[in-house]
Amino acid sequence: MATPSAETVIRALDLEQHVEGGYYRRTFQADDRDPIMTRDGERFLMTSIHYLLTDASPVGHFHLNRSDIVHYYHLGDPIEYFLIHPDGELERVVMGPEVAQGQRLQLTVRGGIWKASRLLPGANGYGLISEAVSPGFDFADMTLGERAGLTEQFPQHGALIEALTRH
């Protein structure tokens, strides 16, 4: 069975460009359940998306979510994640199919951790994951990283922040 192209995956999953980079589509929201109250208002109990990085859009720029997110690797090339914890600790995780080489099929990122991702070189030209978010994702709960502010907060990671932020 041939691996589909990035364009085929984008069309088949009806993905659109994401503000942080890559492509996405919401695939689920728990609208049959009572919403959960957060400090910023009601949210779905859970939401889920497909998320795709491609050779043409290989970076998910640094951003911070308030909700916890569980990522699930599906298809394509490995994706490298960089997590900056509130204390400044940097964690690097690679999601991909080579579990015997330490790649992971699942990654949990707690709310309040800065996160960026980038596609690693491979034969497919894309990497596809899904994310389950609880409380459910709302753009009001996401902060895109600004290079100057993040570098001031985490100067020890300046080169990485420079590479994985838009401005």
Q: Which residue, among 53, 71, 78, 87, has the nearest Cα to 164 in the 3D structure?
A: 53
- CATH number for the domain spanning 26: value is 2.60.120.10
Q: Is residue 92 a part of any domain in this protein?
A: yes
Q: Is residue 22 a part of any domain in this protein?
A: yes
- What per-residue confidence (pLDDT) applies to 138? 95
Q: Rounded to 5 degrees, what are φ and ψ at 20?
A: -85, -5
Q: Is residue 1 a part of any domain in this protein?
A: no
Q: Is residue 129 a part of any domain in this protein?
A: yes
- What per-residue confidence (pLDDT) applies to 3? 85
Single-letter amino acid code for the residue at 143: T
- What per-residue confidence (pLDDT) applies to 2? 76
Contacts of 69 (CB under 8 A, 6+ apart): 108, 109, 111, 131, 132, 133
- pLDDT means per 10 residues, the chain with 167 residues, are 90 96 97 92 97 97 97 97 98 98 98 98 96 96 97 98 95
Q: Is residue 44 a part of any domain in this protein?
A: yes
Q: Which residue carries 């942080």 as its tokens?
A: 20
Task: Count up the domains in the chain and report the number.
Answer: 1
Q: Is residue 66 a part of any domain in this protein?
A: yes
**For 65-85, what is each residue's pLDDT tens digit?**
999 999 999 999 999 999 999
Q: Round to whole Å and give the CA distance between 104 and 94.
A: 6
* Structural domain range at position 19: 6-163
Q: Is residue 122 a part of any domain in this protein?
A: yes
DSSP for residue 120: P
